[in-house]
Amino acid sequence: MMKIKPLIISMSITALSATISISALAAPIDSNRTLPVRTVNNLPSLAVKTSLEIQENRNRSTTSSSAAIAKPANKPKLAADNMSVEELTRKDGQSDDISGGQVVADPSSSASFNSADSQGFALPDAGQLQDASNDAAIKSIADIDGKKHTTLNLSSYAKQVNEATWTPNMNVNSAMTIKMQALLDWNHASPGAIDGGWGMNSKKALINFQNMRGLPATGKMDQATWDALNKNIPANKPVLVTYTLTDEDINTNFAVTPAGAEEKSKMKGLYYQDIKEMLGERFHMDVRYLDKLNKNKGYKAGETITVLNTRAPLKERITRVVASKADKTLYAYNGDKLVATYPTTVGSDSTPSPQGTFKIVNKVKMPWYKATVGEGDQKKVHMLPPGPNSPVGVVWMGLSKPSYGLHGSPKPEGISRQASAGCVRLTNWDVLEVYANIENGATVELK
């Protein structure tokens, strides 16, 4: 039987004399459903199928949204092959985070509940909760079954990446860097958005992988680390592949995300802003690196582009996670075994995360948010629709500590650099992997 569980966010932060609060409206979840452990079939090296088995809400509306289709937004390009996205400063790093709020019974209600309380919670009609395009956004990131990748017509640079092999004392170039980032991604030591630059998240991922395999955590490549990275990877598995854009890709709802809560509340959904942003998340790539690989491409149906060959789903159950503010890393364990690591943002100096051990009490995909801006007579309330450009991305996993949780991000390239209002923030694709392999009741340690 489907049960309704609320998602609560109840915190406040005062800045420039304005109090901002945002709350989440939970979608129906089946708390009795056991998430299966992921399995991966043997696949041809040139045809990649990845599938995160995400808990689906079968009662949601399948009506298409009428949101306007936006022209692709101009994206800044990487200045050089060796420049990491982590080295590029974002001026708006905290602007999309949760600052506080309360759970509501429906989009027009102000009734609030305790975050661990599932009694008396009511939902509006399914049509008010979500449109079909947000389910499509989840699938865009997590499910590309039946979409073939090949190595035909690759550029000389892409071939160089695919053929790159580490040797002692070699001069590491962009091609080798991408190969190393991909291998880390494939081994579930996530480097975040892959960009061809050896920045903070890549360095952390290498150390994390060495720890996962019981190797000296030097943060430097050596023969033992290279061999371990390639141990369970087919020798001919390509890093960069060609992908043919489909009508479904092109006809996805896109819309520019406005800055303010009031304007966001007027949107049908907080969709991807353009097809490049969508493809970047699907293939774990920084949009600027996607652009570098596909200069002069029009991104039209039937056109082939070069993308990253992404990792297979994690096959291990996650029974507990540790979020380290100092390491800016989420460590995922199956019992005492470290099975995956993800770059993360954990709180900030002004809004630190609580320290201690908590439990996951609810898991919500594509939640709504109630944003309360101002105070007193100036207070205004706005309902923010769900979508990948939501302040918490595509997933919220609430903790037994009210107001705190694990969630996604609308800005994957800013992970480990953005501030967070006390929560644990990951890329949308990484948080989906955690979501698919962790259950309510799992332990979350914040330190």
Active site residues: 407, 423
Q: Identify whether the C-beta of residue 323 lies closer than 8 Å to the C-beta of residue 401.
A: no
Residue type, position 185, single letter: D
Give which of 309, 289, 281 is closest to 197, Cα–Cα. 289
**Three-state secondary structure call for residue 14:** strand
User: What is the distance between the alpha carbons of residues 387 and 137, in angstroms, rounded to a whole number?
Assistant: 7
Residue with tokens 């332990």: 443
Q: Is the torsion defined by CA of 398, 401, 404, 406 positive or negative?
A: negative
Residue with tokens 């060959």: 309
Kindly state the tokens that stand for 1.
Answer: 């039987």
Who contacts 128 (Cβ-Cβ below 8 Å, separation ≥6)?
Answer: 106, 107
162, HSE (Cβ side, Cα atoms, 13 Å): 23
Q: Quickly list DSSP for 366-378.
A: S-EEEEEES-GGG
User: What is the distance between the alpha carbons of residues 172 and 170, in angstroms, rounded to a whole number?
Assistant: 6
Give which of 168, 166, 282, 281 is closest to 226, Cα–Cα. 166
β 424-425/405-407 pair status: parallel
Count helices and strands in the chain by DSSP H and E runs: 11, 16
Rounded-to-10 torsion of CA 84, 85, 91, 96 = -150
Q: Left if phi > 0, otherwise alpha if psi is -120 to 50, otherwise beta: which for 335?
A: left
User: What is the distance between the alpha carbons of residues 23 and 373, in angstroms, rounded to a whole number?
Assistant: 12
Q: Left if phi > 0, otherwise alpha if psi is -120 to 50, otherwise beta: which for 277?
A: alpha
Q: How far is CA 437 from the centre of its chain?
A: 14
